[in-house]
Amino acid sequence: MTARLVVAVDGPAAAGKGTLARALAEALGLPYLDTGLLYRGVGRRMLDAGLSPEADAGGEARALLPIDLARSDLRTPEVDRAASLVAAQPAVRAALLAFQRGFGAAHGAVLDGRDIGTVIFPDAPVKLFVTASVPARAERRWRQLNPGRNPDLGTLRVVAAELEARDRADAARAVAPLRAAADAVEIDSDRLDARGVLETALDIVKARGFAPGPHQRPSL
Ligand code: DC
């Protein structure tokens, strides 16, 4: 099949969407976009401007530049909260929509986020919804921020509470809430390692008639 392949990878925070989406993009020879970075970049710009992330962030979203996405300080707990708050604003989502659609439309792509299969690419031929238990996600997030160290239980409880609060906010917002598309296939990453998750996803891609391999060239 030669149709443009868009793979939508959605799910809650720290479920392993990024790990899967990056590996899938490589296996399929497609460009990859971490759409969470867009909201993190907008949240970061609001904080840097001394503005509350609850204030109108549409202007900062329209002013977002590639350099805002390359910063090394986009994964702090402060930016986690700011990103979730700006992501609830319709003006922010509207400002970021065309870029995301254009990215996937050019050559096909793998995109990960919260609303890729429901809003950005509702016709994507492959939609995956990656989940994992709260304790597994809390530990994953903590290890991402503290490589090579071991967390204590109290710390993990705090991280878990923050993740759950953010997921609740992302799922409860009126515009483009976090939810699985009706035709998404759910992958529980608790019971699989990264390789197992990738193999499951590649089987789904094949079942939809797309052959793995570098059939598309990355644009970025
Ligand atoms: O995937 P992430 O943790 O980097 O996302 C950061 C925040 O951005 C998250 O709280 C929800 C929001 N987001 C969103 O609303 N829609 C997306 N497509 C991606 C992220």
Tell me how far the alpha carbon of residue 1 lies from the centroid of ligand 1, in angstroms.
32
Report pLDDT digits (tens) over 167-203: 999 999 999 999 999 999 999 999 899 999 999 999 9
Domain-wise residue ranges, the chain? 6-207
Residues 6+ apart with CB under 8 A from 71: 41, 44
Please give the CATH architecture assigned to the domain spanning 6-207: 3-Layer(aba) Sandwich (3.40)
- The Å distance, Cα 155 to ligand 1 centre, comes to 23
Please compute, for residue 4, the number of CA atoms within 13 A of its CA located in the half-sphere on the CB side.
17
Taking the CA atoms of 183, 39, 64 and 17 in sequence, report the sign of the dihedral they define.
negative
**113 CB within 6 A, ligand 1:** yes
Q: How confident is the model at residue 214 (pLDDT cuts 50, 70, 90)?
A: low
From CA 124, how far away is CA 117, in angstroms rounded? Answer: 7
Secondary structure (3-state) at 214: coil
In Å, what is the CA distance from 5 to each residue of 59, 98, 124, 204, 212? 32, 18, 7, 13, 11
Confidence of residue 1 (pLDDT cuts 50, 70, 90): very low
What is the rounded distance in angstroms from the CA atom of residue 39 to the CA atom of residue 96?
Answer: 9
- Other beta carbons within 10 angstroms of residue 185's beta carbon come to 17
Q: Does ligand 1 have an atom closer than 6 angstroms to the CB of 115?
A: yes
Report the mean per-residue pLDDT for the chain: 92
Residue closest via CA to ligand 1's atom 16 equals 114
- Centre of ligand 1 from the C-alpha of residue 39, in Å: 6
How wide is the angle at C-alpha 80 spanned by C-alphas 13 and 170, nearest 5°? 55
d(CA 193, CA 94): 36
Q: How far does the centroid of ligand 1 lie from the alpha carbon of residue 86, in Å?
A: 10
- Candidates 84, 93, 162: which one to mutate for ligand 1, based on the most atoms within 8 Å of Cβ? 84
- From the CA of 17, give the closest atom in ligand 1: 1
pTM beyond 0.85, yes or no: yes
Tell which one of 35, 42, 99, 179 to mutate to probe ligand 1, the residue whose CB is within 8 A of the most ligand atoms: 35
Shortest-distance Cα residue to atom 18 of ligand 1: 113
Residues 57-116: pLDDT tens digits? 999 999 999 999 999 999 998 999 999 999 999 999 999 999 999 999 988 999 999 999
> What pLDDT, on the 0 to 100 scale, is given for residue 19?
95
* Cβ atoms within 10 Å of 47's Cβ, excluding its own: 17
